[in-house]
Amino acid sequence: FDGYQAAGIVGIREGTSNRKLALPSDVGAYPDAISNALEALRLAGVDGPYSVLLGSDAYTALSEARDQGYPVIDHIKRIVSGEIIWAPAISGGCVLSTRGGDYELHLGEDVSIGYTSHTDKVVRLYLRETFTFLMLTSEASVAVAPAGTTA
């Protein structure tokens, strides 16, 4: 989602043409921040469904938060037509359209097999392959900075 500058790969979050937003320090205000991101997508002419990706800190805080006894995550589920996804590899989050046609998956040609362990009956191997996303439309996402940072 953040790309890889050394290889010239622009990530979904850094390549967006929408203004970057920041998560509020108060988790109870997350629904307002997500609503602002959804509004930006709609104003850019981007249809849903929409999904929300949150880094581990933001996702954990959201999962634990209550607003007068009602889970804050349920407020967000009511306004987002897609999924709320735990994305521990990012800091902050991203709101994006999952309508299709905005990103293209590129699989690398470097499949490798590796050894993990073995017993007298089982050998454990793994496969590894690189992949990246090519952004076809820059307006289909809104990057969301972590709480306490500027957008």
Per-residue pLDDT tens, the chain, 151 aa: give them: 887 788 888 888 888 889 999 999 999 999 999 999 999 999 999 998 999 999 999 999 999 999 888 899 999 999 999 999 999 989 999 999 999 988 888 887 788 999 999 999 999 999 988 888 888 889 999 999 887 776 5
- Residue 119 resides in a domain: no
Q: At 31, which CATH number?
A: 3.30.2320.10
pLDDT computed for residue 30 by the predictor:
94
Residue 37 within any structural domain of the chain: yes
Range of the domain at 79: 3-105+134-145
Number of structural domains found in the chain: 1
Write the DSSP symbol of residue 74.
H
**pTM for the predicted model, two decimal places:** 0.80
Domain membership of residue 53 (yes or no) is: yes
User: Which helix (DSSP H) or strand (DSSP E) does residue 70 occupy?
Assistant: strand 70-71
Determine contact, residues 76/52, Cβ cutoff 8 Å.
yes
Residue that has been written with the tokens 């994006």 in this structure: 96
- The verdict on residue 151 lying in a domain is no
In a domain, 118, yes or no: no
Residue 86: inside a domain, yes or no?
yes
The token pair that represents 117 in the structure block: 């362990």
Residue 76 lies in a domain: yes
pLDDT at res. 150: 66
The pLDDT of residue 80 is 93
Residue 42 lies in a domain: yes
